Amino acid sequence: MTATLMTRRTFLTATAATGGVLSVFGRARAAHAGVVSPPGLFDCHVHITQPWYGSPNSVVTVRHLLGWMDAHGIAQAAVLPLVSPEAFWYPVTTEFVLRETRPHRDRLTPFCAVDPRTLGTHLPTTKDVVDVLSRYRDAGARGFGEHKPRLPIDDPLCMRLYEACNELELPVLFHLDNQANMDSPGLPGLARVLAAFPKLPFIGHGKGWWASIAGNTTQADLHVGYPRGPVAAGGAIDRLMDAFPNLYGDLSSSGAHAVLRDPAFGREFMVRRAERLLFGTDYYDTSQTDFPHFDLFSRFELPNETVEVISCGNARRILGVAGGS
């Protein structure tokens, strides 16, 4: 743990102990602009886990997650299942996420997920898919994801799944790299998806998505964890966000690194795309401690209105979630 992290943790622990939810960026904002701190972050991307793999001490239970959120100024979070074999070490099912989050729906917003290959065997019609997803929605699911199958992003099975999500108004959070929701440099497959479902919000996540903040990407670039260096002009993300108002970006995981690799571009990108970006971490293991995500707002000294929408406003609007207490 770095000294910086220790300082932040010490501060956050002290903050949590006093019952406040003042976040790091809130403290910085207050110091910079003399404003009241925001009500708390909405993390659009976290997971709960079970002890089927790895250290039993690394399991993220709902109780642990809520404590971790308190310690980091996160008021609310979207909890995402992981059902595809490519997505995780074992399935984190929708049913588990719905059950575990049920007593805490004021803070935890569950998503649902179905592997699209199920549509090839057991859910042959759109009505079948809508039936399953509507039961999840009726049980509290507010979005679809983490969508992470080893299929092209515009595979016919995925398109049928998006069709059902569109009908039920379930925003889709997708992971894109060379092993999940595969696409070519420039993301032409994603463009076809966005054009086919112009009213359905799609929230981009993962290495290949965030590598596409830059132009001149190769196929190999779409699988690089944390690309470094200046952002070449002509990135697919900006081009697609211009063309499709239903496209958003999830700043979790590689997202923070994508805006930090070229700070001048990153700051300008966050201000320019404020209405399309969602704060997130992708917390799924208790050993995770390195989160530059929490420092983005203060580091870039972003305008208050930019912080407001990225930190919580966009997620609540897209998912239809009321503010936390």
- The minimum distance between CB 81 and Zn ion, in angstroms, equals 10
Virtual CA dihedral for 175, 178, 182, 187, nearest 10 degrees? 90
- The minimum distance between CB 47 and Zn ion, in angstroms, equals 6
- Peptide bond just before 146 cis, omega within 30 deg: yes
Residue closer to Zn ion by CB (options 183, 282) is 282
Residue closer to Zn ion by CB (options 238, 282) is 282
Instruction: Name 266's Cβ contacts closer than 8 Å, sequence gap at least 6.
Output: 231, 258, 259, 260, 300
Residue number with the shortest CB distance to Zn ion? 282
Residues that bind Zn ion (CB under 5 A): 146, 282
Q: Are 122 and 93 in contact (CB under 8 A)?
A: no
- The minimum distance between CB 174 and Zn ion, in angstroms, equals 11
- The minimum distance between CB 50 and Zn ion, in angstroms, equals 15
- The minimum distance between CB 82 and Zn ion, in angstroms, equals 7
Residue closer to Zn ion by CB (options 262, 282) is 282
Question: Is the torsion defined by CA of 234, 236, 238, 239 positive or negative?
Answer: positive
Residue closer to Zn ion by CB (options 113, 191) is 113
How far, in Å, CA of 289 to CA of 25, rounded? 17
- The minimum distance between CB 145 and Zn ion, in angstroms, equals 9
Virtual CA dihedral for 189, 191, 193, 198, nearest 10 degrees? 180
Residue closer to Zn ion by CB (options 146, 183) is 146
Taking Cα atoms as reference points, which of 25, 23, 14, 141 lies closest to residue 75?
23
How far, in Å, CA of 132 to CA of 139, rounded? 11
Q: Are 311 and 41 in contact (CB under 8 A)?
A: yes
Six-digit token pair at 113?
A: 């997920």
- The minimum distance between CB 126 and Zn ion, in angstroms, equals 27
- The minimum distance between CB 45 and Zn ion, in angstroms, equals 6
- The minimum distance between CB 205 and Zn ion, in angstroms, equals 7
Residue closer to Zn ion by CB (options 209, 300) is 209
Residue closer to Zn ion by CB (options 15, 252) is 252
Six-digit token pair at 194?
A: 């966005």
Q: Are 97 and 80 in contact (CB under 8 A)?
A: yes
Residue closer to Zn ion by CB (options 70, 146) is 146
Taking Cα atoms as reference points, which of 233, 181, 243 lies closest to residue 212?
233
Residue closer to Zn ion by CB (options 100, 146) is 146
Which of 254-292 are b and which e, b meaning 16 or more Cβ less than 10 Å from the residue's Cβ? bbbbbbbbbeebbbebbeebbebbbbbbbbbebeeeebe
The residue with tokens 């059950």 is 99
